[in-house]
């Protein structure tokens, strides 16, 4: 299965990685590695995440306080948000 990020989710990914890298050298790369591992897992087992509603699921990153919010559509896994676990729950619900 293919993994695709919505533009807004890609932007969240970039902002979080940059923020972490600015805090501690190398931490942004570790964040991206965690995203990559989780994305690979989703490509193999797309139903693994916790169901949020009839369309969306989420899976936590292993090391960082973020979830990948995703949906499965037309044979691909679409990441809707790279959401911090404690900030603005559900803000991504209006994304198409």
Structural domains of the chain, ranges and CATH numbers in brackets: 2-86 (3.30.2310.20)
Q: How many of the other CB atoms lie within 10 Å of CB of 91?
A: 11
- pLDDT at residue 83, rounded to an integer: 95
Paired sense of beta strands 66-73 and 76-84, if any: antiparallel
- pLDDT at residue 59, rounded to an integer: 97
- pLDDT at residue 45, rounded to an integer: 93
Q: How many of the other CB atoms lie within 10 Å of CB of 39?
A: 17
Q: Residue-wise pLDDT tens for the chain (96 aa)?
A: 889 999 999 999 999 999 999 999 999 999 999 999 999 999 999 899 999 999 999 999 999 999 999 999 888 999 999 999 888 877 888 887
**Residues with Cβ < 8 Å from 8, sequence gap 6 or more?**
80, 81, 92, 95
- pLDDT at residue 95, rounded to an integer: 86
Q: If residue 44 lies in a helix (H) or strand (E), which one and from where to where?
A: helix 27-44
d(CA 88, CA 68): 14
- pLDDT at residue 40, rounded to an integer: 95
């Amino acid at each position: 299965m293919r993994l695709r990020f919505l533009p807004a989710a890609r932007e969240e990914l970039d902002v979080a990685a940059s923020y972490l890298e600015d805090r501690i050298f190398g931490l942004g790369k570790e964040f991206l590695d965690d995203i990559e591992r989780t994305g690979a897992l989703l490509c193999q087992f797309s139903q693994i995440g916790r169901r949020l509603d009839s369309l969306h699921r989420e899976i936590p990153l292993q090391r960082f306080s973020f979830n990948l919010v995703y949906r499965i559509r037309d044979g691909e896994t679409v990441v809707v948000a790279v959401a911090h676990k404690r900030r603005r729950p559900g803000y991504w619900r209006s994304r198409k």
